Amino acid sequence: MSDSITENADYRAFCEERLQDPYPLFARLRADDPVHWCAPMKLWLVTRYDLCLTALKDERFSSDRTDMYVQALPPDLKARVQPLLDHVAKWIQLTDEPDHTRLRKLVNLAFTPKMIRQLMPRIQGLVDALLDEVRPGEPCDLISQFCQPLPATVICEMLGIPLAERDRFRELVEGIMHFSTAGGPKLKHHAEHAQECLREVIVLFERLVSERRREPRDDLLSALVTAEADGEKLSNDELYAMCVFVFLAGHETTTNGIASGVMALLTHPAQFAKLKADVGAHVRGTVEEALRFESPVTRAVRKAREEIVLEGKTIAPGQLVVFLLGAADRDPAVFPEPDVFDITRSPNKHLAFGFGAHFCLGAVLARMEMEIAFRAIVRRLPQLQLATTDLAWKPTMGIRALTRLPVRVTA
């Protein structure tokens, strides 16, 4: 890059302050240095669509980066939080073949498109009930009142988490997530609390799993408990890891997909008008464009298994490579006028759900929740407006998340 911003600035200046609008930086990186060594973070940043697409199918990149956690912890702490480290190592997103292939086969038996489609009436009911509470003239943060509770309730019901325990469960899983998303030196501050959270989560799941073993129900947890392929089932530890990870992966991501989509519509009135004029024709395009325009998961992280030369840069074995999906999804070589929000964009082969072996397991569910949410907003709140222009994105690296979405509803 021509100036020294990314070479010399510290982690805070490089990452957090740019998160409000990372796209100009993404554009410069993509044009000038698409495989960029980021010295402050000691990792590679890949921003071009074609490079992300090819590399995410390249088996020389590993998804197993659990040693990153291990190396960042002092030995005594590491020994104390070994159960937490063992748990995180079983998250499907952090496994490679053959474990990944086995886990994916088992979870696919439980997570079928048919099973997801059966959820449609329930999701519609939830959407309607939540929007009943959004009343004309009253202040409303659409995230806390709608975008957040919808996917959280869906995933809790799929996992059979009783209503009374949902808030606690969410707190506990967030405690684990703070550890898993913390980088470098911050990791040790979250490790012990995360382990405590995990202990409580497992007590809850032990109870739920033994209930399902005695009496299977029509939910994802029962399907995961009974899933069997090639004579193999998930072990208890794998089952708990799958439940925690599916909850983590399916919850905030969808919240942000819905929230960013609504915000894009409200800040692009001509696109909102187009959607309202023919929702049947444009709702799917709106979902895809919302996912491309503000890709909720901004990165996929891999580790080089061996020396890899990418676009003339030599990536050493063990180095981390961050594929910036949010940058790839604004690549002008693939998406003409990429900074324009256009619900009729076609083709729109964004990478918001990743690519390759780890392609999002919940893509069908997420798309369905977003579609039902957008349809309901058009039908029930066609006069929806932003109540402020003072919107902010959370200062987190991996997720593109608005802090709140205050809206004004008129009768």
**Contacts with ligand HEM, residue ranges (CB under 6 A):** 92-93, 104, 155, 245-246, 249-250, 253-254, 257, 296-297, 300, 325, 352-354, 358, 360-362, 365-366
How large is the C-alpha radius of gyration of the chain?
21
Minimum distance, C-beta of residue 238 to ligand HEM, in the bound complex (Å) = 13
Spatial separation of the C-alpha atoms in residues 110 and 168, rounded to whole Å: 25
Which H or E run includes 299? strand 299-304
Cβ proximity to ligand HEM, 253 vs 348, nearer residue: 253
Minimum distance, C-beta of residue 23 to ligand HEM, in the bound complex (Å) = 17
Burial of 10 by CB count in 10 Å (0-12 exposed, 13-18 middle, 19+ buried)? exposed
Minimum distance, C-beta of residue 220 to ligand HEM, in the bound complex (Å) = 8
Sheet containing 35-38, strands listed edge to edge, beginning at the edge strand earlier in sequence: 35-38, 43-46, 320-324, 299-304, 61-62
Minimum distance, C-beta of residue 353 to ligand HEM, in the bound complex (Å) = 5
Spatial separation of the C-alpha atoms in residues 233 and 242, rounded to whole Å: 12
Asked if 256 contacts 402 with a C-beta cutoff of 8 angstroms, the reply is yes
Cβ proximity to ligand HEM, 155 vs 334, nearer residue: 155
Minimum distance, C-beta of residue 137 to ligand HEM, in the bound complex (Å) = 31
Minimum distance, C-beta of residue 323 to ligand HEM, in the bound complex (Å) = 8
Residue nearest ligand HEM by beta-carbon distance:
362
Cβ proximity to ligand HEM, 146 vs 353, nearer residue: 353
Which H or E run includes 308? strand 308-310
Spatial separation of the C-alpha atoms in residues 156 and 162, rounded to whole Å: 8
Asked if 130 contacts 149 with a C-beta cutoff of 8 angstroms, the reply is yes
Cβ proximity to ligand HEM, 320 vs 325, nearer residue: 325
Cβ proximity to ligand HEM, 115 vs 279, nearer residue: 115
Contacts by residues 68-76 (CB-CB < 8 Å, ≥ 24 positions apart): 68/303, 68/320, 69/179, 69/180, 69/187, 72/184, 72/185, 72/187, 72/188, 73/187, 73/188, 73/191, 74/188
Minimum distance, C-beta of residue 22 to ligand HEM, in the bound complex (Å) = 16
Nearest to 100 by CA among 109, 88, 91: 91
